[in-house]
Amino acid sequence: MALRHFIDGSVQQMRGDYAQAVLEFQDALRYGREPAVFFALAESYSALGKHALAIETGREAVRLAPDNTEYRRTLAHVYLAAFQIDSAAQQYEQIVRRDSSDTDAWFGMGRVYESNRPLRALEVYEAMLARFGPEWTILLQVAELYNKQGQFEKAAAALQRMKDLDPANQPLQRTLAQTYLRAKKPDEALRILSALREFDPENIDVLGDMGGVYLLKKEYVKAEEAFAPILKSDSVSLDAKIKIGQQYYDQIEQDSTLRLVTKRIFEQIRTAHPRDWRPYWFLGAIASMAHDDTTGIRHFRTVTELAPWNPDGWVFLASAYFGLSDFAGMADVLESGRKHVPDDFRVNFFLGVAYNRQGKRIDAARALEKSRQINPKDVEAIAELAMVYDGMKRHEESDSLYEEGLRIRPDYHLILNNYGYSLAERRQQLNRALEMSTKALEAQPANASYLDTKAWVLYQLGNYSDAEKYLLQAVEKGTPNATLLDHLGDVYFRLNDRSRAMEYWKKALALEPENTLIRDKVQRGSL
């Protein structure tokens, strides 16, 4: 009877009627608890997506017949379907322990370990190569894993063994050359690419790779010779030409002499493709590097006209205005940008910065609140909005934001400084304010604003001598502003040096003639 139900269940299973198969297998178990029945039942449960029952019956099959590797293999598949990776790996380990020649089990074990234990996967694959010899699929997995681990020399070694198996495979040789380049072995990469070039002199891809290697080796003449045919060819795609220009652009930070040749490349591309926004973007970025914000504005504006959907155009155009301290122009750009990309974090954040620099705190708050809706955990936006609320005397909200920012980044010097200054201005939690200003200054000891903050906290604590010391350091570090000079005047007044107090108040008033608080001190000759 058990055999009859088992056979009927197997027939239903072959037909794809897994629910009926389960019923037949369950009837079979009433007459005998055979491991084959549990095994078949596990397969049907798995096909029905009932993973818990599939695991239960699969484990019972393995318990009754622990040396049956097919049962263990099926149980491993069931575990994988249920995302129980470690349990699946254990079954493969058991199979290999019982039959070390089972290459499928070795490979299955390696693939399972790739997701959560890549180093163990590498151990498995290396053991396979040592036991069974070089095999293309295994070497490919080894190369990919070593690449992900950043061990490019070992990745290259695996690819070299693949090349030995298939010496005519040109795409593989290009991959090997690129891997040698990541391993900081440009000469090895060049050796392979040169051989490919001899075999196929007209191969544009190989020529481009060679140009990239020469560029990294700072052999600029050879790089230009390699890239020239690609840039001049009408049959080469625009993307390939942009990639060449980007390779030069990426090297400018290490060698500023490349700026002119990079500019020339993108000017050529722009001339040939005047309706593509990318060359204008790179030309704008190159101009910004040279602090030529006027030229940068012209190019970035073209980017916004050709690709208004691209937030990078609006952000970099706004940054160019920021470089000119034209905050009104910056705000106008970003308001236009927000019509096209209303939900871009950077557009809203920098718009808030622009309005804040103009003293338009209500507009600044509106833009920054929007940026925080998009990315509520960004500490830059938190710090900027807290500063805006602080300036609006909405201290409960600003303090809440400062506290939130410090929970995210307890060592963030900008929030430490601004929060400390705000507390000092209100004469609240002065000891904590001193602690925060000290930490901020440790992070940026040459920051004149941070020196001023610590001095002002010390002033509020009545430590006028130390306050004077930090304020004088602040004057030395940067161009004094009205607030800094006003603070010095207050300190000297407390130190009973009224003439010097008046001197600094007058200097402060000259910088901010409309400041009534400073004017009153000058007129009174006292605080």
CATH of the domain at 448: 1.25.40.10
> Is 101's pLDDT higher than 80?
yes
Residue 122 in any domain: the answer is no
Q: Which residue has the higher pLDDT, 406 or 115?
A: 406
Q: In sequence order, what are the residues at sequence separation of 6 or more whose Cβ sits closer than 8 angstroms to the Cβ of residue 434?
A: 420, 454, 457, 458, 461
> Is 384's pLDDT higher than 90?
yes
Q: Are residues 500 and 463 in the same domain?
A: no
pLDDT of residue 308: 97
Give the separation between CA 92 and CA 104, rounded to whole angstroms: 9
Residues, the chain: 527
Q: Are residues 461 and 487 in the same domain?
A: no
Considering 84-98, 190-204, 305-319, the range whose residues carry the highest mean pLDDT is: 305-319
Q: Are residues 473 and 420 in the same domain?
A: yes
Q: Are residues 441 and 499 in the same domain?
A: no
Residue 432 in any domain: the answer is yes
> Is 81's pLDDT higher than 90?
no
Residue 451 in any domain: the answer is yes
Domain hosting residue 464, numbered range? 411-478
Decide: residue 286, CB within 10 A, 0-12 exposed, 13-18 middle, 19+ buried.
Answer: buried
Q: Are residues 459 and 488 in the same domain?
A: no
Residue 334 to residues 244, 302, 327, 362: CA-CA distances in angstroms? Answer: 31, 15, 10, 16
* Count of domains for the chain: 2
Band (pLDDT 50/70/90 cuts) for residue 32 is: confident
Residue 417 in any domain: the answer is yes
Q: Where are the beta strands (DSSP E) in 90-231?
A: none
Percentage of the chain beyond pLDDT 70 is 100
Q: Are residues 415 and 466 in the same domain?
A: yes
Band (pLDDT 50/70/90 cuts) for residue 403 is: very high
Residue 77 in any domain: the answer is no
Q: What is the pTM of this model?
A: 0.75
Q: Are residues 508 and 458 in the same domain?
A: no
Q: What is the pLDDT of residues 167-214, one digit of tens each?
A: 989 999 999 999 999 999 999 999 999 999 988 888 888 999 999 999
Q: Are residues 425 and 458 in the same domain?
A: yes
Q: Are residues 511 and 526 in the same domain?
A: yes
Give the separation between CA 88 and CA 451, rounded to whole angstroms: 60
pLDDT of residue 404: 97
